[in-house]
Every structure is written in structure tokens, then in C-alpha cells.
Chain A
Amino acid sequence: MDIKELVGKSKNKDREAFSELFDFYYDKIFNYVFRRTLNIDYAKDITSNTFLKVLKYLNDFKWKGGDNSFNAWIYKIATNEINQYFRKQNKYKLIVDEENFKELGDCGETVREIENRLENDEYLLILNKGMKQLKPIYQDILHLRYFEELSYEEISKILSKNETTIRVYSKRALEKLKLILEKDALVFKEN
């Protein structure tokens, strides 16, 4: 089943279709959020809130501008949640009804494995450290473009800017990031 069909059926309250749609997007969204926050607990909360909002507003979603509309829409929700998290930091809350949502969590081993992987992923840590000094919109663009590998067209839909602006911002974001990395001596020239 393609995404369009799954979305259509999910709108008609088809559990099976929504389950498939969720499976397709959960990993993408969780990893996108995790790379931006580098915090497993917040990544879980932001991902949960993203999917709750997907379900809440699913009937309002309309296919505008091609087949990647839904992809852009779901990333837009996730990006908004991430930006809220950065604004609120410790005050960011999970919106699920905790009585019904059994947060068993993943076992310690899984979490330790992720933390180890993160510690060894120097590139991600350096880039993240540098990107945090950029304007939020530049961070959004770089993550969506280089980690999520989305097209400029999709990014323009997610961030509600025209494609040319996104291309210009993307270039500026890379230039600024380069300066930050050089300035903080995170990346050294090899003579």
C-alpha cells in the first residue's frame, strides 16, 4: 500500500492502515528528533507528541503539492515540536494521558547501546555542537537537508518558505557552520 492509500484509510479510522503508516514513519521521526536533541527521553516524548498531533489533525490534512505532502506535513509537526522543546527545555511535557500510556521504556541495555554509539559518533557530536549556535531555521534546514536527505522542495513545505529562500538559507547555514567549527577549533586544517 502506498502512503496516499494508507493516509486515506487512516482518515477513515482504519487501524491497520494507521498501524502501517506509523511503522513507516516512527523510526524516521524518532531518529530525526534524536539527532537534534541527543537525548533519548526527550526524543521519546517529542516523537510521542508528534504522533498524537498527527492523529489529532489527520482529518485536516490535505494533499497539496504532490505525493510528498504527507512526508512534509509529518516532518513539519515534528520540527515544530522540536522547536518547542528548545524554547521550553525542561518545561517540555509529554501530552499523552499517562494513565493509559504505559511508559515501560526500553531496557537499560538498549539505552546504553545508543549512548555508546552516540559517544563514538564524533561527527554527529561536532556538527550538533556547531549547529546549536546557528539560528533555529538554519538548524532546521541543515538537519532536514543533510540528515533526513529531504529535497529543497520538501523543506520549503515543512518550513513554509519558498524554495529559493531555502536554498539561500542552506548555503548561508553551511557558511556560518564552517566559521563556527573553525572558530571553536573543532575542525583543524591539516597542513
Chain B
Amino acid sequence: MHLFLKKISMKNIEELFKKVNKESIVLSEHKNNLKNYLLNSDYFCKKEKKNLSDFKLAFGSVIFSVFILAIIFIYFSSYTKPLEIADINNFEKEIRTPQTFSMSKALDTAVDEKETLYNKLIKKENVIINQKIWQEQEVIVLEVFEDNLKTIYYFNKDKNILLHSEIQSK
């Protein structure tokens, strides 16, 4: 395998390269197999997985939002506005004047013990229960006899507010 050149020069060497058969060799089977392998590789599947994970993320977000909204709804549906401290102070200031002190105390007692004061009194011995009109309203009057004193309690008709009380000697 020898080549015969008139003169060996750099140009001749370059000429040798040009004489090489540069026609493309095609291995169609290998080409197709490789292409299919590459097109089915993780690189292209990742996009689909990513899309799926995007969907999962979006779905999760929706569920989470619904959950938060449900909690907010439940909270506000059972919410009662708390009494402002300022309102309490005003209320107390108004009530606790010297003129109204004794009434206030009685009311406080009635409110504090609204479920028990009336019941407590009617459980005592020597109690007379009456119903009558007092200061243009229907009231329940309890007359409690103790020692030589008679204490009269005026309750509203629902028996939960003490309207007035007085002590009389027998």
C-alpha cells in the first residue's frame, strides 16, 4: 500500500486528505435505536413528571386554601365581640356613684347570683311569695321573715333581677 507522489510537500499532504473518501457511512439501525433510547430517556420524561408535580402542588394549594377558609368561617361564626375595657370602665363609673351604690350592690348580687338568689330565698322557711304590680310593672314579691324582721324582695317577673328590697320590723 504505497502512494506515489511527484514531490512530497506540505501541499501534497493536504492533497492526501482531500483524496480520502468522505462519503458518509450511515448505520441506520444504530441511529434509530440510539435516537429512540434518547427520546425515551429521563431527560424528556422529567418534563412530564414535573408537570405532574406541578399539578399535585396546585391541587395541594387548593386543598390547603379551602382548609384555611373553613377554619376562618368556623371561628367567625362562633365569635362574639368581647366587651371593650373602656366600655366596662364607663359602665362601672356610671353605676358606682354614691347615690346608686346600694342599688348597684343589690343589682350586682342579683346579676352574680341570678340563678341562685331567688332559689335560695324560696328555699328558706317563712317565705311568702306574691305576684303584684309595683311601679307599673308586674313583679314577684318575696317576704322573708327572720327574727323580728321582714325583708321584702321585688323580682321581675322572670325572677332573675332583683328590682328592690326593703326591711321592715314586724
Chain A residues in the interface with B (C-beta under 8 A): 13, 15, 18-19, 22-23, 26-27, 30-31, 34-35, 40, 44, 47-48, 51-52, 55-56, 58, 96, 100-107, 110, 114, 117, 121-127, 142, 146-147, 171, 174-175, 177-178, 181-182, 185-190
Contacts and interface: CB of A to CB of B under 8 A. Distances in A.
B17 interface: yes
Contacts of B43: 13, 55-56, 58
A31 B7 CA distance: 30
B123 interface: no
A178 B35 CA distance: 40
Chain B interface residue bracket vs A = 35 or more
The list of the 9 closest CB pairs from A to B, nearest first, reads: A146-B17, A13-B47, A106-B29, A123-B19, A190-B4, A123-B20, A124-B20, A101-B37, A121-B21
Contact of B29 (A34, A105, A188): A105
Query: In terms of DSSP, what is the predominant structure of the interface of chain A?
Result: helix
Contacts of B34: 22, 26, 47-48, 51, 101
A185 to B, nearest CB: 7
Interface in B1-59: 1-8, 10, 12-14, 16-22, 24-31, 33-35, 37-41, 43-44, 46-47
B68 to A, nearest CB: 35
Contacts of B44: 13, 15, 18
B30 A105 contact: yes
